[in-house]
Amino acid sequence: MSGQLIREMTLDDCARVAEIRVRGWQSAYKGLIPQSYLDALSVGQDAARRRGNFARGDGTVVNLVAERDGVVVGWVCHGPHRDSEVRTGDVELYAIYVHPDLVGQGVGRALLRESASRCAAAGHDRMLLWVLKENTPARRFYERAGFVPDGAEEPFEAGGVAVPEVRYARALTGTGLD
């Protein structure tokens, strides 16, 4: 392996990012979200949505990918924190996914570190994120990175089922994650 590179996502990465996201959902959320919902996820539809979002982007949302030996293996996305429809001065981690075969190999940590570093460099003091309440592995990942639940909870609707989410927060120090 020649190493890992974290770089800006390009339009050409959308199909691979969609594959990683859909496979990530199907792996990480098995038993937490209705299986019928997970089975119905489409890489092609997600890629088309991703390309549309990417083309319409106004620069406020940052998409980064992790690449190993020229292959995209992970994706992270952050942008302005949304409190309902109101934007605050905080930044929100919208998504982070690693190819299921590479979970636990440092890809997610590298993506999160780069995302947090960029947010701190842009002057943000705090990063927030939402995670499924029952997703213990993801919650441990974020807690090891210094995130703590801030008490906010709300349901996420998946396949007609309300799935509880909790919000996590972390102060940004300007140096990324330790």
- Check pLDDT > 50 for residue 173: yes
pTM: 0.91
Q: Name the H helices within the chain.
A: 14-28, 35-40, 43-56, 107-121, 136-144
Report pLDDT digits (tens) over 31-63.
999 999 999 999 999 999 999 988 887 788 999
- Check pLDDT > 90 for residue 110: yes
Q: Which of 114, 20, 122, 26 is nearest to 73 (CA)?
A: 20
Angle at 173 (CA atoms; ends 76, 111), nearest 5 degrees: 20
> What is the bridge-based pairing of β-strands 86-98 and 126-132?
parallel
Lowest mean pLDDT among 47-61, 111-125, 133-147: 47-61
Mean pLDDT (the chain, rounded): 91
